[in-house]
Copies of this chain bind each other. A is one copy, B any other.
């Protein structure tokens, strides 16, 4: 029972209205694997770092029992570095610096010990690389893919090719509109699900998320956060919580996909409370359970009463 996580491992520089940090552990595979480590024990990470990657950061993964047999250490260069700045409302950010470094020629290799995962999490990397990962996976119960507007615009054919092999796609609302060419999200969801993924999650930031399956639509609320400190990694954290719960429960029913969306939302709501992935190191089971309960209370619609229609 394991989750295979493929994506970037990086250092991030982050500026928000509430402070800044020059260099903190980041990357999609980092957020996904740290998050899903709260749900099951066997998290197998595939990624690449450079000669500047600190032992202390290796240990942060090990402390969370993330398996690093698939983490390549490329001594020819430095670790992927990204720097961004968030604006006042935290909904928009500018990229100030991107140094791909060793990530530029990342060639994911899946160790033999990883090739029968229960769940495959394809973090946001080039669609052709995501396909290459799937070529190396012998069997799995579920393939989950994240992508972004950069690939929708620049590698649409590759993306469509990869989507045919995917069970769950997680994107945001503007990406869903761009990928489908349709402004109405319900119509966009139909069009995208016809491309391959039977399960589609459309993230809407401060407005929650929508889950589309064969049999229903689920509207998940957003947690009403007073102090968002740093949104970095929230989307990857969502994916980690979503996949983690499915791995832990082993249940791929519609109702359980709803639970998975809420666990993803729960974990993302914690992530934004501190800079970088800090909050993902000190969570307790009770905190996770309590926040799930808060989500239920937040969106509970009472039954109709006797004087209803």
A221-B219, A224-B185, A288-B309 given as contacts; is B259 within 8 A of A302 (CB)?
yes
- What residues on B are CB-neighbors of A301 within 8 Å? 220, 258-259, 262, 295-296, 299-300
Interface size on A, residues (CB 8 A): 51
Distance from A158 Cβ to chain B, minimum over Cβ atoms (Å): 28
Which of B220, B285, B298, B303 is close to A218, meaning CB atoms less than 8 Å apart? B298
A258-B302, A299-B301 given as contacts; is B183 within 8 A of A89 (CB)?
yes
B224→A222 contact, CB < 8 A: no
Q: Find residues 187-238 in chain A having any chain B CB closer than 8 Å to their own CB.
A: 187, 204, 206-208, 210, 216-222, 224-226, 228
The complex places the Cα of A259 from the Cα of B308 at a distance, in Å, of: 10
The complex places the Cα of A220 from the Cα of B225 at a distance, in Å, of: 16
Distance from A99 Cβ to chain B, minimum over Cβ atoms (Å): 31
Q: Who on chain B is nearest to A265 by CB?
A: B301
- What residues on B are CB-neighbors of A225 within 8 Å? 184, 186
Distance from A87 Cβ to chain B, minimum over Cβ atoms (Å): 10
Instruction: Judge whether A286 is part of the interface by a CB distance below 8 angstroms.
Output: yes
Q: Find residues 276-309 in chain A having any chain B CB closer than 8 Å to their own CB.
A: 285-286, 288-289, 292-293, 295-305, 307-309
Which of B207, B219, B248, B304 is close to A299, meaning CB atoms less than 8 Å apart? B219
B88→A216 contact, CB < 8 A: no
The complex places the Cα of A94 from the Cα of B169 at a distance, in Å, of: 36
The complex places the Cα of A255 from the Cα of B249 at a distance, in Å, of: 32
Q: Find residues 159-199 in chain A having any chain B CB closer than 8 Å to their own CB.
A: 183-187
- What residues on B are CB-neighbors of A219 within 8 Å? 208, 221-222, 224, 298-299
B185→A218 contact, CB < 8 A: no
Residue ranges of A at the interface with B (Cβ–Cβ < 8 Å): 88-90, 183-187, 204, 206-208, 210, 216-222, 224-226, 228, 248-249, 255-256, 258-259, 262, 285-286, 288-289, 292-293, 295-305, 307-309
- For the complex of A and B, 8 pairs with smallest distance between CB atoms: A219-B221, A207-B207, A285-B309, A289-B309, A89-B183, A296-B301, A288-B309, A186-B224
